[in-house]
Chains A and B, each alone.
Chain A
Amino acid sequence: MRFSISSLKITNFRQYRGKHTIEFTLDKKKNVVIIKGKNGSGKSNLLNAITWCLYDLEVHKEGDTKYDDGMPIINAAELESLVPGQMTLAEVEIALDTENGSWLIRRQVEGGKDGLGNPYVRPKSELTVIHTKGDQNLVEQGDDTQIYINKLLPPALRSFFLIDGEQLREFFRKSTPKKIAEAIDIVSQLALLEQAVYHLHQYQSRVNKSIKDTSPKVKAIQLEIKSFEAKNAETQEAIQKGEQSLDTMEEELRDIQNYLKNHNVGRISALQGERETIDKDISRRNRELGDVEEKRNRYLVRLAPLIYLKPTIERALAYIEDKVEKGELPARIKETFVRELLDRGVCICGNDLEGESRRILETYGERLALSELSEVTIEGRITFGGILAEIDEFPQRMDEHNESIDGLKAELERKKRRRELIAEEIQEHNIDDVLRKEDRRSTLEKNVATKRQLLLVAQSDVQNFTTRLEGKKKELLHELSIDQKNEELRAKLSIAQETLEVLVTAEEIVRAKIRELVETNTQRNFFTLIRKKGAFTGVTIDENYSVRVAHVQGYNVINDLSAGEYLILGLSFMSALMSISGFQSPVIIDTPLGKIDEEHREYITTELPKFLEGTQLILLVTPTEYDSAVRRNLDQFLLPENYYEIKEDVHGIESRVVNAHGAKA
């Protein structure tokens, strides 16, 4: 369902003491809303107010958190002003304009001072949704009310619409293929299929349990199935935990690398920079090595059957050569022509074919048996000749392949050696914090490599268990079919198994199609939004969910983009996911232009509102971001009444949002 925000009312939420109302005027072309405020003035808390109202969550820089630590969600001064026993509340109310009429969403949480004067905030907030059905206004309250919001915009899709600019810029700088795959999985909305698969597995287990009076063999197979299922579940759980821990380690590793790269001792910073360049080189060379090895393998697989069959092929060729030498191939007269003459019984000269002349022609016809194969055997002769010529080249071609592989391996070794020297030189500086970080970096690097290997082993184990489990299930079906009394159970299990296979295939197909669609849309969006259109040739998301941005000179520059280019790539990807998800919600971006160079700011502020035409685009900007050029560009998409500023009190503790339309200039 398409919707826009028509107003936002905030009461005693964080630094917004008292009641604050922001009205949004909706316009398809002039779709931008600006809320300007200094760093720390409360821009992010406006985004938090919205996510809290909708999902009982606040989006902080570090990720999603609940309000159970730090500053209370109810304005601290408001709480402080209460007398013991007095109560107050924090409330956020969002009015929506939807295709099906107006909606009002309100969340409030109570708090106050207890009898001893200690401030408290109740742990549970209350959600109210008022929506229209026909001519009626329906009021929803209680535990199930969240369902209404989730239908409007599922929580999993939230981060594609309610965006932290900094997180968006970092998305492709930090994201692993796993995170890309997760994001694509969310919009693929495979939950229904996954639920069906889950229920079918449950059903299979129930049917398995109901098999009674079984033979010892059935019992043994059932036990094996149970054991494989348990091992599978255990390993999958270990993989999930392992992946989480890998993410954490990789995050810490990146932080350390950034620390060293930005170190105020120039040589440390330069060495870390060089190490990062080497790492990129190593990963590029590893990819090249993979490509070259694959090429070698393809060649081997193509030539191996021909070499295995060399004696056979030579023998076949010898037969053809022999026939050619004897003049039987290619035949000058076709066997069919001789047969026609014999059938007709009359020679081309007009004489009857009888007696000796007929016998001579019959003998000749037998010798022409190969005539119909003339063309085909000549084709074979040429192909066999070509095959043998290729086999002759095999040793030389293999040497060439091996030479490329060995060359790349040697280069990789040199780069790894240089890396070791860099680590030694960094340590020679003998700076305490650098030594500590370098030590930790080295440990993390080893741990990450080990963890990745363990995960690969575990994933291979899961594959192995799954194959064996499937085998055992088939075996069970076979055993059950032996005894007629199990026929009904066998039929049930068989249908469940077949349906499972269909569902798994369907899941694979949907996943692949959506990935292709996201890839196409991301590329299209990227080339719409990017300024240097000629510098790139494509954006791809391969089957392993690795993103590549191809530079015009052929390099993959995914690790070398500027902050502006990362933002555009992030926006392009999010936008692709948004459009595929089918949900049409306002897009709210906190600090969209921070760290973005002037040229990209100019381009983004001209192109983004056009790109999202018809979608309400709420930008929470700092005064630095909202400079004169940005203001000039956005003016054409901004109704004057949709311009707000956040004003702080003299102490910088409390904030209020004012319509600053008159103050724009």
Chain B
Amino acid sequence: MLMAPRLETVKHNLEPRNVGYSKEVADLYQDRDHGWLKKGSANIFAGLYQKDLFIFAMALGKNRERSSDFGPKEKQDNVSVDAMTPAQKWALLSIGIAESDGLLCLKNEGEIYSAAERYAREGIQILRSHMEEAGPNYPKKLEVELRELLGLLED
């Protein structure tokens, strides 16, 4: 597959953090003891990055058409869009294109980021309930769900 070249030249830790999540769920986004990204833990996101969890939550929120606004001072911008893979970035941009029925939204990506954050805000809660419900069987449950989604879509 031909991938677009990555244009950023700045170091990862200096990259701008353009999207964020609620402070309430900040613990889940950390590589710490209780965070889902904690390396070596049994979580499906163990060892991954904030951007991976953000994109996952955003896509799940969008799939369920569930989004919500942030309260005042609730959001903290910690995720870098520049650090995303082209597939992740275009998955995010696809929301803007599909919802605005056009491509002009790409001239102002900030608005798409806001929409993505609102979906991720709800998506992370749905994800939490899925993981709590399935426990260690979550990967299997996810696989079944994805197969169903593809099956339904194919129908």
Residues in chain A within 8 A of chain B (CB atoms): 293, 296-298, 300-313, 315-317, 319-320, 323, 369-370, 372-373, 376-377, 379-380, 382-387, 389-391, 394-395, 398, 463, 466-467, 543-544
- B102 in contact with A297 (CB, 8 Å): no
Is B128's CB within 8 Å of the partner chain A?
A: no
Residue of B nearest to A298 (CB): B48
User: Distance in Å from the Cβ of B94 to the closest Cβ of chain A?
Assistant: 4
Q: Which residues of A contact B98 (CB under 8 A)?
A: 311-313, 315-316, 319
Q: Which residues of A contact B40 (CB under 8 A)?
A: 543-544
User: Distance in Å from the Cβ of A290 to the closest Cβ of chain B?
Assistant: 10
Q: Which residues of A contact B153 (CB under 8 A)?
A: 310-311
With A305-B91, A319-B97, A466-B33 as given contacts, are A370 and B103 in contact (CB-CB < 8 Å)?
A: yes
Q: Of B4, B33, B39, B63, which one neighbours A308 at CB under 8 angstroms?
A: B63
Would you call the interface of chain B mostly helix, strand, loop, or mixed? helix
- A305 in contact with B150 (CB, 8 Å): no
Q: Which residues of B contact A370 (CB under 8 A)?
A: 103-104
CA distance A420 to B58 in the complex (A): 49
Is B139's CB within 8 Å of the partner chain A?
A: yes
Q: Which residues of A contact B102 (CB under 8 A)?
A: 319
Residue of B nearest to A462 (CB): B33
With A305-B88, A543-B40 as given contacts, are A398 and B94 in contact (CB-CB < 8 Å)?
A: no
- B91 in contact with A394 (CB, 8 Å): no
With A303-B146, A305-B59, A309-B94 as given contacts, are A297 and B44 in contact (CB-CB < 8 Å)?
A: yes
Q: List 12 A-B contacts (CB under 8 A).
A: A296-B139, A301-B45, A304-B60, A305-B59, A305-B60, A306-B91, A310-B153, A311-B153, A319-B101, A320-B97, A382-B2, A544-B40
- A305 in contact with B58 (CB, 8 Å): yes
With A300-B44, A301-B56 as given contacts, are A383 and B97 in contact (CB-CB < 8 Å)?
A: no
5 nearest A-B residue pairs (beta carbon): A305-B59, A386-B1, A316-B97, A308-B63, A308-B59
With A309-B94, A383-B3, A387-B90 as given contacts, are A319 and B27 in contact (CB-CB < 8 Å)?
A: no
User: Distance in Å from the Cβ of A548 to the closest Cβ of chain B?
Assistant: 15
CA distance A377 to B52 in the complex (A): 23
Is B86's CB within 8 Å of the partner chain A?
A: yes
Known: A309-B59, A377-B103. 8 other contacts (CB 8 A): A303-B146, A304-B142, A305-B58, A306-B59, A319-B101, A384-B90, A389-B1, A398-B143
Is B25's CB within 8 Å of the partner chain A?
A: no
Number of A-B contacts (CB under 8 A): 131
- A300 in contact with B91 (CB, 8 Å): no
CA distance A281 to B149 in the complex (A): 39
Is B34's CB within 8 Å of the partner chain A?
A: yes
Q: Which residues of A contact B34 (CB under 8 A)?
A: 463, 466-467
Q: Of B2, B27, B52, B150, which one neighbours A307 at CB under 8 angstroms?
A: B150
User: Distance in Å from the Cβ of A450 to the closest Cβ of chain B?
Assistant: 18
- Residue among A302, A305, A384 with max Cβ neighbours from chain B (10 Å): A305
User: Distance in Å from the Cβ of B24 to the closest Cβ of chain A?
Assistant: 11
Is B62's CB within 8 Å of the partner chain A?
A: yes
CA distance A501 to B87 in the complex (A): 36
Is B12's CB within 8 Å of the partner chain A?
A: no
Is B131's CB within 8 Å of the partner chain A?
A: no
User: Distance in Å from the Cβ of B129 to the closest Cβ of chain A?
Assistant: 16
Residue of B nearest to A382 (CB): B2
Q: Of B59, B86, B107, which one neighbours A383 at CB under 8 angstroms?
A: B86
With A305-B55, A370-B104, A373-B103 as given contacts, are A383 and B44 in contact (CB-CB < 8 Å)?
A: no
CA distance A439 to B4 in the complex (A): 64
- A315 in contact with B97 (CB, 8 Å): yes
Is B19's CB within 8 Å of the partner chain A?
A: no
- Residue among B56, B103, B150 with max Cβ neighbours from chain A (10 Å): B103
Q: Which residues of A contact B106 (CB under 8 A)?
A: 373, 376-377, 380
Q: Which residues of B contact A311 (CB under 8 A)?
A: 98, 153
Q: Of A298, A373, A379, which one neighbours B4 at CB under 8 angstroms?
A: A379
User: Distance in Å from the Cβ of A60 to the closest Cβ of chain B?
Assistant: 37
- B146 in contact with A304 (CB, 8 Å): yes
User: Distance in Å from the Cβ of A472 to the closest Cβ of chain B?
Assistant: 14
Residue of A nearest to B56 (CB): A305
User: Distance in Å from the Cβ of B78 to the closest Cβ of chain A?
Assistant: 16
Is B147's CB within 8 Å of the partner chain A?
A: yes
Q: Which residues of A contact B150 (CB under 8 A)?
A: 307, 310, 391, 394-395
User: Distance in Å from the Cβ of A319 to the closest Cβ of chain B?
Assistant: 6
Q: Which residues of A contact B86 (CB under 8 A)?
A: 379, 383
Is B81's CB within 8 Å of the partner chain A?
A: no
- A386 in contact with B3 (CB, 8 Å): yes
With A316-B98, A319-B101 as given contacts, are A387 and B147 in contact (CB-CB < 8 Å)?
A: no
Q: Which residues of B contact A543 (CB under 8 A)?
A: 39-40
Q: Which residues of B contact A377 (CB under 8 A)?
A: 103, 106
Q: Which residues of A contact B1 (CB under 8 A)?
A: 382, 385-386, 389-390
Residue of B nearest to A370 (CB): B103
CA distance A380 to B101 in the complex (A): 15
- Residue among A301, A303, A304, A386 with max Cβ neighbours from chain B (10 Å): A304
CA distance A382 to B87 in the complex (A): 10
Residue of A nearest to B86 (CB): A383
- B52 in contact with A301 (CB, 8 Å): yes
